[in-house]
């Protein structure tokens, strides 16, 4: 899961977007790089808001509480799952026990102290086939408390490779409730060596798979990343430092373009999944084969048998958070 930053440049409904300007600035700022598109990308975001406060309250002096949002996001560069990011209820009716993976509250927000008044958020990733189903479920069965406010899409984004960075550009269009242009979004992905990439992805059976790519090239990938470390050598503070360092690289990159924009890099909870992964890896690496029993007795389920297996369900959670952060227009 690479470290990324997302920038958003809003534009007026009838004016041209900043896409052209950014492309030109990119070309100007990196004259040594050949700026040829290496691919396309797309995004779709649906915003749901809780219904509280939709109706004007009769006693207007009552301070409306913070609205809660649920965001559905799908990115073409993470085709194995869609993201759902939901604000937790303010007063948790059933106190959600901290699941052990969340661990102590300290490190979660260590990257960027959460000063925003927004409630804590829950990130969920689900397979693409269930993504649409779940959205329909909320709009059908949860009408009294969730209302669909907005759909945004980047239908035709362009991907550039600039040095150690990969840049994704695209115009954001609103398709619901009315069609209009909202602005331009830029994702900057650091592709240089990184500690984060050295943490292996754990598979569904609990074992660890070095490198995400299949085939025999994994060794090379680790070498290419320049880092080949044992699990004990990486601490969570290293990850925080890595995020902070990469963020400054991304900011520097963006600074060379000189475009005013809304930024989302070190937002709350970024890096949470990476740390979870590190924690699991350390646990697995410390001598205990977690030995999740594989089901061999052939029992099935009415519902479970066609469930798609996602090799890395948490990949892209950071960038999804960043997109959601910049694309959450208060509606």
- Residues 282-321, interacting with other proteins (CB under 8 A): 283, 286-288, 290-308, 313
User: Which residues lie below 8 Å from residue 299, measured CB to CB, with a gap of 6+?
Assistant: none
Show contacts with other proteins in window 238-277 (CB under 8 A): none
Q: Least distance (Å) from other proteins to the CB of residue 218?
A: 10
Candidates 70, 196, 239, 261: give the one binding other proteins (CB under 8 A): 70
Q: Least distance (Å) from other proteins to the CB of residue 75?
A: 17
Quick check: bond before 58 cis, omega within 30? no
Cα separation, 37 vs 59, whole angstroms: 55
Cα separation, 8 vs 326, whole angstroms: 6
CB closer to other proteins out of 103 and 206: 206
Show contacts with other proteins in window 35-54 (CB under 8 A): 51-52, 54
Taking the alpha carbons of 186, 176, 53, 69 in that order, is the dihedral positive or negative?
Answer: negative
Candidates 31, 34, 62, 97: give the one binding other proteins (CB under 8 A): 97
Q: Least distance (Å) from other proteins to the CB of residue 192?
A: 18
CB closer to other proteins out of 182 and 279: 279
The answer to whether 143 contacts other proteins (rule: CB under 8 A) is: yes
Cα separation, 53 vs 79, whole angstroms: 35
Helix axes 236-257, 272-285, angle to 10 degrees: 150
Q: Least distance (Å) from other proteins to the CB of residue 261?
A: 30
User: Which residues lie below 8 Å from residue 106, measured CB to CB, with a gap of 6+?
Assistant: none
Show contacts with other proteins in window 145-164 (CB under 8 A): 145-147
The answer to whether 330 contacts other proteins (rule: CB under 8 A) is: no
The answer to whether 125 contacts other proteins (rule: CB under 8 A) is: yes
Q: Least distance (Å) from other proteins to the CB of residue 57?
A: 6
The answer to whether 61 contacts other proteins (rule: CB under 8 A) is: no
Q: Pairing state of beta strands 37-50 and 121-126?
A: unpaired
Three-class secondary structure of residue 223 per DSSP:
helix
């Amino acid at each position: 899961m690479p470290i990324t930053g997302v920038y958003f440049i809003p534009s007026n409904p009838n004016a041209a977007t900043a896409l052209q300007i950014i492309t030109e600035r990119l070309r100007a700022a990196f004259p040594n790089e050949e700026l040829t598109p290496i691919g396309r990308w797309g995004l779709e975001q649906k915003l749901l808001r809780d219904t509280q406060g939709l109706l004007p309250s009769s006693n207007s002096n009552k301070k409306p509480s913070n609205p809660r949002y649920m965001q559905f996001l799908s990115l073409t560069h993470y085709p194995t799952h869609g993201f759902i990011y939901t604000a937790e209820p303010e007063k948790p009716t059933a106190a959600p026990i901290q699941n052990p993976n969340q661990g102590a509250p300290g490190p979660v927000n260590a990257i960027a102290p959460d000063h925003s008044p927004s409630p804590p958020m829950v990130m969920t990733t689900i397979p693409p086939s269930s993504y649409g189903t779940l959205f329909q479920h909320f709009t059908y069965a949860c009408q009294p408390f969730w209302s669909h406010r907005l759909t945004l899409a980047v239908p035709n984004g362009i991907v550039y490779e600039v040095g150690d960075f990969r840049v994704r550009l695209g115009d954001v269009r609103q398709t619901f409730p009315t069609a209009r242009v909202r602005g331009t979004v830029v994702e900057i992905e650091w592709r240089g060596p990184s500690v984060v990439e050295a943490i292996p992805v754990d598979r569904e059976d609990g074992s660890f798979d070095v490198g995400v790519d299949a085939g025999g090239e994994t060794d090379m990938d680790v070498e290419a990343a320049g880092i080949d470390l044992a699990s004990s050598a990486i601490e969570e503070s290293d990850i925080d430092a890595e995020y902070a360092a990469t963020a400054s690289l991304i900011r520097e990159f963006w600074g060379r373009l000189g475009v005013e924009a809304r930024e989302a890099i070190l937002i709350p909870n970024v890096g949470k999944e990476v740390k979870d992964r590190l924690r699991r890896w350390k646990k697995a690496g410390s001598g205990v084969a977690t030995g999740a029993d594989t089901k061999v007795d052939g029992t099935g389920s009415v519902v479970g048998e066609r469930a798609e297996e996602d090799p890395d369900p948490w990949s892209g959670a950071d960038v999804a958070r960043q997109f959601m952060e910049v694309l959450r227009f208060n509606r």
